[in-house]
């Protein structure tokens, strides 16, 4: 009986009956095959095709099946019907093509399976994360008092920012230690400010943290889609007059739709004057730290009391990978717990590092290795050039779109996102028609599998979005894409004829 388990595990002291290299080879081969085969970002399969195929595949047998059969099924049902994010025409979301060093690091991460909650489960990995956090705090411009921790991404990092700020505010204003006593009734007066373009996880976190979404006050934005400082000042004044307690302001360095960067220094000043916790959500824009041309855009990151940076977006790491930073490491005390089996207090006295104290997670991935391998192999110079290339390409693409009368471009790209829409040129158009047309363009291209764009809404109107993360993209490729959208738009206009909303289009 025992023997039949053997080949399924890595063996200390021998070659694990070769299942490890053999199965890894097959997995790598499957991806390599798909890379050769894929000339568009999506198969174009419909939900009606994919769901039953997956359901059928999920009849789980009592006895294991042959490797080749299972791998073939995985290839046909899953790999072929996955969004191929490494294709330059996959341009919908902040969803990056992963760098190959990150993929290789995952192999090591998975096999070592270190858990970075306590030092005894990750003796070297704990220090890799710790030193990487130091490397970043230095680049951010923080003092030696700063600290941070790897997270699963921007959602967790923003949540942690709100959590620390909430606990600190309750201590300062109500002398309540939330960790022990829970939220006091007065917490209903707490208010958080952020721009109307801030990420929805600010509200989601407020909801989860017992403050409620009503605690988040949306500040208007200026014509560059940045938080409008004057409106923030006025809103703070009004809130105080009404007896509310503004305790936190969230700036965004790279909004999800526009890639706009708030004026970090001005907001930092306001936060200091008004004694607000200052959080910066740089999930997207944090990659500018290594940019040669555009690092000036995010000057002031070090002014944040807490800071979110994602590595699975413009740092090109495989999912998941992100970090959360604080200007003053003492602030992690707001969430510290001691578990006797993981991080007993005597460990702290002995100087043992147990990262669980800084995280909302317990078992925690060794994601820092991905960045380590990426930066060691690639160097920060080339990395920075790559980020700059994508931003410059987005700026050039925006110009191309603006030169076409049938497109309306909503933003001057600061990072690499462009929000635009197709506008029919004929006279009897109305907003509903334009909205439906753009929705149809997005849907039709998705279904064709050729071009994956996002749709978004601004001021109640539907827009399309290119998020141009892929450094393999080129201007001539974008010319082709724009031409395709234009032609598809014209075709819809022609076809719609009398039956105004009953069009359909194939791209
Ligand atoms: C993507 C994003 C988030 C959420 O991050 P996840 O990594 O998806 O959890 C938060 N803020 C901004 C600005 C983002 O772009």
For the stretch 342-380, pLDDT in tens is 777 787 778 899 999 999 999 999 999 999 999 999 999
> Do the domains spanning 107-378 and 381-501 agree at the CATH topology level?
no
CB-based contact 60:14 (threshold 8 Å): no
Which sequence spans correspond to the domains of the chain? Answer: 3-82, 107-378, 381-501
Calculate the alpha carbon distances from 45 to 78, 90, 223, 307, 332 in Å: 11, 15, 40, 40, 47
Over pLDDT 70: what percentage of the chain?
A: 96
366 close to 128: Cβ distance less than 8 angstroms:
yes
Closest-lying ligand 1 atom to the alpha carbon of residue 254: 13
Atom of ligand 1 nearest to the CA of 155: 9
465 and 438 in contact (C-beta within 8 Å)? no
Distance, in Å, from the CA atom of 73 to the CA atom of 80, rounded to the nearest integer, reads 10
Atom of ligand 1 nearest to the CA of 310: 7
The correct CATH number of 381-501 out of 2.30.30.90, 3.40.50.970, 3.30.590.20, 3.90.1150.170 is 3.90.1150.170
pLDDT at 407 over 80: yes
pLDDT tens readout for residues 276-308: 999 999 999 999 999 999 999 999 999 999 999
Pick the residue whose CA is nearest to atom 6 on ligand 1.
154
The finding on whether 260 has its CB within 6 A of some atom of ligand 1 is no
The percent of residues in the chain predicted with pLDDT above 90, rounded, is: 87
Q: Which residue has the CA at smallest separation from atom 10 of ligand 1?
A: 154
C-alpha of residue 316 to centroid of ligand 1, in Å: 14
Ligand 1 nearest-atom number relative to CA 284: 15
Considering all CA atoms of the chain, what is the largest pairwise distance in Å, rounded to the nearest integer?
Answer: 79
Q: What confidence category does residue 497 fall into, taking pLDDT thresholds of 50, 70 and 90?
A: low
Q: What's the pLDDT score for residue 430? A: 86
- Give the mean pLDDT of 33-59: 94
In ligand 1, which atom is closest to the CA atom of 201? 10
How high does pLDDT run on average in the chain?
A: 94
Read off the DSSP letter of residue 76.
I
Whether 498 has a pLDDT exceeding 50, the answer reads no
Q: Is residue 271 within 8 Å of residue 249, measured between CB atoms?
A: yes
Unique residue bearing structure tokens 């990995």: 125
Ligand 1 proximity of 281 Cβ (cutoff 6 Å): yes
Cβ–ligand 1 contact at 199 (below 6 Å): yes
Q: What is the rounded distance in angstroms from the CA atom of residue 370 to the CA atom of residue 470?
A: 18
Cβ atoms of residues 132 and 317 within 8 Å: no
Q: Best of 154, 157, 256, 321 to mutate for ligand 1, by most ligand atoms within 8 A of CB?
A: 154
Six-digit token pair at 381? 């110079």
Which two structure tokens, joined as six digits, stand for 360?
A: 């909302």
Q: What spacing in Å lies between the alpha carbon of 153 and ligand 1's midpoint? A: 7
Q: Is the pLDDT of residue 30 over 50?
A: yes
Question: Does ligand 1 lie within 6 Å of residue 256's CB atom?
Answer: yes
Instruction: Convert the pLDDT of each residue in 161-202 to its tens digit.
Output: 999 999 999 999 999 999 999 999 999 999 999 999 999 999
Distance 40 CA to ligand 1 centre (A): 26
Q: Per CATH, is 107-378 categorized as 3.40.640.10?
A: yes
Q: Does residue 283 line the site of ligand 1, with CB under 6 A? A: yes
Tokens 């909302």 locate to 360
> Whole-model pTM above 0.85?
yes
* Structural contact between residues 89 and 507, judged by C-beta atoms closer than 8 angstroms: no
Under a CB-based contact definition with an 8 Å cutoff, are residues 99 and 312 in contact?
Answer: no
Condensed to tens digits (0 to 9), the pLDDT of residues 429-470 reads 788 999 999 999 999 999 999 999 999 999 999 999 999 999
**Fold topology of 3-82:** PLP-dependent transferase-like (1.20.1650)
């Amino acid at each position: 009986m025992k023997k039949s388990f053997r080949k399924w595990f890595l063996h200390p002291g021998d070659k694990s009956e070769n299942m490890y290299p053999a199965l890894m080879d097959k997995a790598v081969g499957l991806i390599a095959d798909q890379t050769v085969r894929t000339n568009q970002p999506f198969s174009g399969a419909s939900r009606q095709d994919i769901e039953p195929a997956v359901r059928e595949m999920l009849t789980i047998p009592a006895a294991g099946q042959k490797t080749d059969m299972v791998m073939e099924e995985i290839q046909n049902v899953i790999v072929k019907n996955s969004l191929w994010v490494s294709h330059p025409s996959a341009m919908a979301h902040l969803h990056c093509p992963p760098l190959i060093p990150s993929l290789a690091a995952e192999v090591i991460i998975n096999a070592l399976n270190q858990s970075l909650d306590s030092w005894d489960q990750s003796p070297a990995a704990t220090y890799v994360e710790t030193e990487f956090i130091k490397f970043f705090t230095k680049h951010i411009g923080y003092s030696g008092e700063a600290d941070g921790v790897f997270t699963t991404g921007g959602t967790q990092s923003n949540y942690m920012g709100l959590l620390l700020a909430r606990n600190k505010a309750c201590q300062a204003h109500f002398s309540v230690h939330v960790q022990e006593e829970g939220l006091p009734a007065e917490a209903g007066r707490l208010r958080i400010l952020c721009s109307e373009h801030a990420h929805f996880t600010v509200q989601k976190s407020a909801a989860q943290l017992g403050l409620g979404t009503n605690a988040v006050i949306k500040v208007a934005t200026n014509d560059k889609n940045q938080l409008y400082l004057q409106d923030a000042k006025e809103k703070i004044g009004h809130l105080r007059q009404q007896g509310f307690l503004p305790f936190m302001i969230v700036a965004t360095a790279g909004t999800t739709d526009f890639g706009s960067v708030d004026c970090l220094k001005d907001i930092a000043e306001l936060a200091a004057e008004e004694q607000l916790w200052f959080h910066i959500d740089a999930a997207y824009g944090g990659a500018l730290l290594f940019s040669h041309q555009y690092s000036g855009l995010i000057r002031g990151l070090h002014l944040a009391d807490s800071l979110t940076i994602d590595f699975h977006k413009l740092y090109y790491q495989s999912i998941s990978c992100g970090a959360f930073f604080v200007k003053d490491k003492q602030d992690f005390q707001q969430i510290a717990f001691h578990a006797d089996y993981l991080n007993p207090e005597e460990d702290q006295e002995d100087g043992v590092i147990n990262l669980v104290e800084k995280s909302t997670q317990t078992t925690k991935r060794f994601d820092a290795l991905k960045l380590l391998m990426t930066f060691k192999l690639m160097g920060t110079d080339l990395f920075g050039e790559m980020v700059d290339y994508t931003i410059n390409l987005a700026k050039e693409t925006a110009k191309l779109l603006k030169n076409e009368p049938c497109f309306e471009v909503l933003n001057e790209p600061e990072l690499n996102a462009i929000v635009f829409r197709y506008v029919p040129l004929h006279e009897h158009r109305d907003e509903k028609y334009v909205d439906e047309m753009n929705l149809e363009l997005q849907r039709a291209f998705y279904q064709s599998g050729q071009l994956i764009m996002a749709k978004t809404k601004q001021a109640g109107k539907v827009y399309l979005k290119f998020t141009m993360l892929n450094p393999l993209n080129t201007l001539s490729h974008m010319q082709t894409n724009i031409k395709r959208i234009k032609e598809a738009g014209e075709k819809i206009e022609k076809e719609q004829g009398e039956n105004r909303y009953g069009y359909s289009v194939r791209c």
